[in-house]
């Protein structure tokens, strides 16, 4: 497999990549803005989000949805500007992070967890996956999840797979017709050195996993078999399959997670590499 090439440099801390309408959309979290970049590397700012944007998605009618991390809100970009679709502060134990929107416009959102300390004395408290319906109503879909981060939904719409970052595993849930989650199972146990962050799904049912703890992404089959490893220039944060045939793997990478360091050094980047199996499911 080819070595990734850098598509875009000079970002603070990119996150939440999504392929949509011929461009890669992403949050530059510590720069407080949502951006797009095309396959030629031309970047544009879509909007600014004061409390740090993270996960992205779209409503059924095509309006952008943005997780606002620090104030724990789901925002919607309307023609008049950003609107709060749902305040999650009474449901989310910690800062909100990644999300996935399903075909019906329902959104699943993770968070850091209660009393989580990500410093040298790492401690991760229990967290929730929250579902928000198109009318803005929110409820807890699953509890006691270990730092729920990247999420994907299978093409049939029946299964949600979530990266539990500090449990080194991918966990699956069955999605009920009303959006509820049940039948929790370990989809794949990962090497303890892997911190699964952003993920995406391919047409063969494997999941690409960005390892926030090292400069690499892994292709993982159900049960935990790793079929491919791609090394990146700095730590991998998230990944997304896109491009014309969804065989371009976009890898979001950054040297540091510290917001001050990110803004000062601006070493965040997006790398791309072609892969064999195209993307599938959502996002």
In a domain, 279, yes or no: no
Distance (Å, rounded) from C-alpha 164 to C-alpha 146? 5
The closest of 151, 174, 153 to 163, measured between CA atoms, is: 151
In a domain, 19, yes or no: yes
Q: Is the pLDDT of residue 123 over 80?
A: no
The closest of 190, 277, 198 to 225, measured between CA atoms, is: 190
**Confidence class for position 258, pLDDT limits 50, 70, 90:** confident
In a domain, 282, yes or no: no
Structural domain for 63, as ranges: 5-274
Read off the pLDDT of residues 181-206 as tens digits, 9 standing for 90 and up.
999 999 999 999 999 999 999 999 99
In a domain, 65, yes or no: yes
Q: Is the pLDDT of residue 121 over 80?
A: no
Read off the pLDDT of residues 18-60 as tens digits, 9 standing for 90 and up.
999 999 999 999 999 999 999 999 999 999 999 999 999 999 9
Burial of 110 from C-beta contacts in 10 A (0-12 / 13-18 / 19+): buried
The closest of 198, 195, 154, 145 to 29, measured between CA atoms, is: 198
* 184: its two tokens: 């929790």
In a domain, 192, yes or no: yes
In a domain, 281, yes or no: no
Count of domains observed in the chain: 1
The closest of 254, 276, 281, 279 to 12, measured between CA atoms, is: 254
Distance (Å, rounded) from C-alpha 38 to C-alpha 25? 9
Burial of 12 from C-beta contacts in 10 A (0-12 / 13-18 / 19+): buried
CA count, 13 A, side-chain hemisphere, 110: 28
**What is the pTM (predicted TM-score) of this model?**
0.95
The closest of 120, 126, 119 to 148, measured between CA atoms, is: 126
* 29: its two tokens: 């979290």
* Torsion angle in degrees (nearest 10) through CA of 109, 260, 241, 276: -130
Domain at 35, CATH number: 2.120.10.30
In a domain, 283, yes or no: no
In a domain, 280, yes or no: no
Give Cα separations from 5 to 28, 153, 230, 231, 269 (angstroms). Answer: 19, 28, 12, 11, 10
């Amino acid at each position: 497999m080819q070595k990734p090439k850098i598509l875009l440099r000079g970002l603070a801390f990119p996150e939440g990549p999504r392929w949509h309408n011929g461009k890669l959309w992403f949050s530059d979290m510590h720069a407080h803005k949502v951006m797009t970049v095309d396959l030629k590397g031309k970047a544009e700012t879509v909007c600014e989000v004061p409390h740090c944007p993270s996960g992205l998605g779209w409503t059924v009618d095509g309006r952008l949805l943005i997780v606002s991390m620090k104030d724990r809100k789901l925002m919607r970009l309307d023609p008049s500007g950003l609107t709060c679709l749902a305040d999650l502060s009474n449901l989310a134990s910690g800062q909100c992070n990644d999300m996935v929107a399903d075909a019906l416009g329902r959104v699943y959102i993770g968070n850091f967890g209660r009393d989580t300390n990500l410093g040298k004395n790492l401690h991760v408290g229990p967290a929730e996956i929250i579902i928000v319906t198109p009318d803005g109503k929110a409820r807890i879909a699953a509890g006691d999840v270990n730092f729920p981060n990247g999420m994907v939904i299978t093409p049939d719409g029946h299964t949600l797979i979530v990266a539990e970052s500090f449990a080194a595993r991918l966990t699956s849930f069955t999605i009920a017709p009303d959006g509820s989650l049940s039948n929790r199972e370990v989809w794949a146990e990962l090497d303890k050195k892997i911190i699964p962050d952003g993920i995406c799904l391919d047409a063969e049912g494997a999941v690409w996993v960005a390892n926030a703890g090292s400069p690499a992404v892994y292709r993982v089959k159900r049960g935990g078999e790793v079929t491919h490893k791609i090394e990146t220039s700095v730590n991998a944060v998230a990944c997304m399959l896109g491009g014309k045939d969804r065989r371009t793997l976009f890898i979001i990478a950054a040297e540091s997670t510290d917001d001050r360091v990110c803004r000062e050094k601006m070493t965040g980047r997006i790398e791309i590499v072609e892969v064999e199996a195209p993307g599938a499911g959502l996002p």
